[in-house]
Structure 1
Amino acid sequence: MIKKTAFALSCTTAFWLTAAFAQSAPDTGNLEKLGGFKTTGTPMMEPIQQTGENIEALKAIAAKIKVPAGFKVSLYAAVPDARHMAVGPQGVVTFVGTRKELMYSVTDRNKDRVADDVKVFAPSIKMAVPNGVCFSKDGHLYLAEQNRVLWFPAAEFFYEGPDVAAFAIVKQGELIPASDESYNHTARTCRVGPDGRLYITIGQPFNVPAADILPEFEKLGIGGVVSMKQDGSDRKIYSRGMRNPLGLDFNPKDKTLWVNDNQVDGMGDTIPPGEMNRVTGPDQNFGFPWYGGGKTRTVEYKDATVPEGVIFPEVEQDAHAADLGLSFYTGKQFPEKFRGGIFSTQHGSWNRVDPVGARVLFTSLKEDGTADKTEVFAEGWLNENGEYLGRPVDVQVLKDGSLLVSDDLAGAIWRISYGE
């Protein structure tokens, strides 16, 4: 397996890496070349325009978003289909995933808190749902696709050109069995934990799975969070009993893992609640599919025996609001009440008579590390006519302490700042 070492690799090491990953993905030709530090001949794609009518229209949306007094919402960048984000440890580049085939690098060159350069990252690699991006503290970028995990050493250094150092630490078809690939619940998210391991959410593809499928899903960690070393080895199941987990982050104070989970559809407008779960240790079960969300039993499993030790959500959210991104606020720009708390996003409902969501929430914590109060922090992407002006996906803290909010409907990254 690949070991993460200093990036100055000998020719012998480069040859070994190339051989190890020659069959790692459908586009093995380019991936093999990149692993051997060779060019692919791929041209750089044209940057995404950051001026013009579209930019002015996005700025007009930003002006309609409501935030507490002293805060300001502005347009940071236009990024097509923007989903989950990873802010580079050096503060040079923010990488943005999508649910399509491309991921992007976003650079604010003059540090005026508006992106100057947005372009496709690693265009020579054919990707499938490159949604989940995350960094290690020492600058290694990971990408969790639908069914593969890629490693980009020194991504903040190589992002300028079309060719980047890239390796598959989980080969195509080995994150989940190819037979379980679906068009539903395919977006993965990731974080590198305080223990140095890589944590990845894996949603299961059904609204409620049949009972005969559960043993396989349990064995593979489908419908939960898996962890592995940063070279892809030593895979373990960290948490179970989740339907479609997405945003996740570790509390810097007590190292607990918090995960948003999207709950069962078709039970009504107001049930079951969405979930924000607090994972305090390995192998905990959060109740799905016996519970559709919170303590609401599913119709399919209403008479089934519930496993012992099921843990109920730390925070119950509005039903069908599609809670996605989640990040602890580690910056210093915002007032004291927000420091150490959780910002999270609601993408907005697709199947409610009365739509709800499309906003950013804030959850404060008690002294013991449990949830205290959840309140609306930013809203207005869902207007009074029931029209979506945007759909927030992820929330990440920029190096200056401001907040970035991605939006895959508007194709934008919003910046929320304080006192500017």
Structure 2
Amino acid sequence: MTGLLLIACGNSALLKVDTGYGPDPQLPEPVRTMIPTVKVAPAQPWEEGQAPTAASGTTVRKFAGELDHPRWIHVLPNGDVLVAETNAPERPLRGELLGIKGKVMGFLMKRAGAATPSANRLTLLRDADGDGTAEVKTVFLDKLNSPFGMALVGGELFIANTDALVKVPYQAGDTRASGPVTKVADLPGGPLNHHWTKGLVASADGSRLYVSVGSNSNVAEHGMEHEKGRAAIWEFDRVTGIGRIFASGLRNPVGMAWQGDTLWTSVNERDELGSDLVPDYMTSVRDGAFYGWPYSYYGQRVDTRPKPPRPDLVATADKPDYALGNHTASLGLSSAQGNTLGGVFAESGMFVGQHGSWNRNPPSGYKVIYVPFAGARPSGPPVDVLTGFLSADGQARGRPVAVAIDRQGALLVADDVGNAIWRVEGPGTLASAPR
């Protein structure tokens, strides 16, 4: 294993990292190597008193610590914060299909802090005394199955498990779910379940629920029979649970957020085409649109690996709106509406949590960024919001995932290696009102 890791260096980036951002990123020719580029930052969590570095004019504090792999956040109307403490479920077929490559990747993910057993619970955090940190931490709901996305509609909290959309009753102030877990709809899961996370948002009127479902592979190398219902965003009727594919060809859509009445998503693009390809992206999502995966990327640039090719589908592929850098693992996505960070962080923009690369040399991501909008479209280069997750010697002291605006306009960031929720505050951010 060690020998394989030593030679698994692949190629190094030739382009500057900022060329992979924006509406028209540089897209060089693909680079194929016998051994994929592997550059994983080993997990070395924060020492006592350490914290990420906040953008000029803002400050950061630890909102909550000693969590178990916190991946996703949902802010409730009363200011309480639900955190999904979660990780991948058992996936026996994945190891079988990937063989030695799967064993290597499993070893690497363990070094990166991503192979811990799933806690399978939602934890409620409450800032009881209004000082900007959570004093109350209690289990809201446990015995779930790799939960991820959450959405509150009226008196019902919807949760996207890895294999099903479920719901529980909720009343303002609840610190523990008071009713039974009810299944709303099945979601693509199964023994392969390569991309296991399921994001979730509700429409403005609460009638529809949108679930993001990642692919079962990098580029359909196991065959399209394993990709049924995957690499897509699903739309479900909230009451009946009847669903349909809303948009497809999205390799691994994770975060979703509304900008006005338009749904946006952050997407992890494909690997093993070199350190300078392919940029992750965020894009507005059109009903019925196809975004290329696995047959093309960034619109209609053909990927020759999937067999048989589908030129008919490639001809229909939409180009994404805004690239987020090569291999940055851009997972978290939140509208900037209501933020009080001040300065360049206008409310017409998006915050993005970049979990960090494994298939790029040198590494990319490992930070939180802000993308400004003008009207309904991205309008300029990204701005760093929270950095310092990657140490000078290449250790991952933390890895940001979910981002969310709390009731006072601060930015909450889930850090699944640091086992913490960070709170970024601006001069206009108020402390919580004491409860």
TM-score, normalised by the number of residues in structure 2: 0.74
- What residue is the counterpart of 2:145 in the other structure? 128
Compute the displacement of 1:67 (Å). Answer: 2.6
Question: 1:275, 1:294 within 8 Å by CA — same for their partners in 2?
Answer: no
Name stretches of at least 5 consecutive residues in structure 1 with no aligned partner. 1-55
Question: 1:349, 1:357 within 8 Å by CA — same for their partners in 2?
Answer: yes
Q: Which moves more between the two structures, 341-350 or 262-271?
A: 262-271
User: How many angstroms apart in 1 are the aligned matches of 2:419 and 2:222?
Assistant: 39
- What residue is the counterpart of 1:112 in the other structure? 131
Compute the displacement of 1:403 (Å). Answer: 0.5
- What residue is the counterpart of 1:70 in the other structure? 57
SS of the residue corresponding to residue 60 of structure 1 reads: coil
- Give matches, 1:20-419, under 5 Å: 60-62=49-51, 65-78=52-65, 79-99=67-87, 100=118, 101-123=120-142, 126-136=143-153, 138-154=154-170, 156-160=172-176, 164-170=178-184, 174-176=186-188, 180-196=190-206, 197-210=208-221, 213=224, 217=227, 220=229, 222-251=230-259, 253=260, 255-279=261-285, 281-293=286-298, 296-301=301-306, 304-307=310-313, 308-335=315-342, 337=344, 338-367=346-375, 369-373=376-380, 374-419=382-427
Question: 1:158, 1:165 within 8 Å by CA — same for their partners in 2?
Answer: no
2:331 partner amino acid: L
Question: 1:88, 1:95 within 8 Å by CA — same for their partners in 2?
Answer: no
User: How many angstroms apart in 2 are the aligned matches of 1:59 and 1:364?
Assistant: 34
CA change 1:405–1:93 in 2 (3 A) is closer
1:345 partner amino acid: G
Question: 1:381, 1:391 within 8 Å by CA — same for their partners in 2?
Answer: yes
User: How many angstroms apart in 1 are the aligned matches of 2:273 and 2:164?
Assistant: 33
RMSD between aligned residues? 2.3
Summarize deviations over 1:8-55 as a string: whole Å, max 9, x none: xxxxxxxxxxxxxxxxxxxxxxxxxxxxxxxxxxxxxxxxxxxxxxxx
Compute the displacement of 1:293 (Å). Answer: 4.8
Compute the displacement of 1:210 (Å). Answer: 4.8
Summarize deviations over 1:64-101 as a string: whole Å, max 9, x none: x2333210011000122111110001213434342222
User: How many angstroms apart in 2 are the aligned matches of 1:268 and 1:166?
Assistant: 48
CA change 1:93–1:142 in 2 (3 A) is same
User: How many angstroms apart in 2 are the aligned matches of 1:94 and 1:145?
Assistant: 15
Compute the displacement of 1:59 (Å). Answer: 5.8
CA change 1:312–1:362 in 2 (3 A) is same
Compute the displacement of 1:131 (Å). Answer: 1.6
SS of the residue corresponding to residue 393 of structure 1 reads: strand
Question: 2:46, 2:397 within 8 Å by CA — same for their partners in 1?
Answer: no
Summarize deviations over 1:95-140 as a string: whole Å, max 9, x none: 43422222211111112110012222223xx22211222223x353
CA change 1:175–1:372 in 2 (3 A) is same
Q: Which moves more between the two structures, 99-108 or 150-159?
A: 150-159
Compute the displacement of 1:272 (Å). Answer: 0.9
Q: Which moves more between the two structures, 204-213 or 66-75?
A: 204-213
Compute the displacement of 1:309 (Å). Answer: 2.9
Summarize deviations over 1:139-195 as a string: whole Å, max 9, x none: 5321101101121221544324xx621332335xx212x6x4425210111001124
User: How many angstroms apart in 2 are the aligned matches of 1:324 and 1:208?
Assistant: 19
User: How many angstroms apart in 2 are the aligned matches of 1:240 and 1:391?
Assistant: 28
TM-score, normalised by the number of residues in structure 1: 0.77
User: How many angstroms apart in 2 are the aligned matches of 1:151 and 1:379?
Assistant: 35
Summarize deviations over 1:255-291 as a string: whole Å, max 9, x none: 1111111111111112111111111x31111111112
Question: 2:338, 2:347 within 8 Å by CA — same for their partners in 1?
Answer: yes
CA change 1:240–1:183 in 2 (3 A) is closer
Q: Percent identity?
A: 26
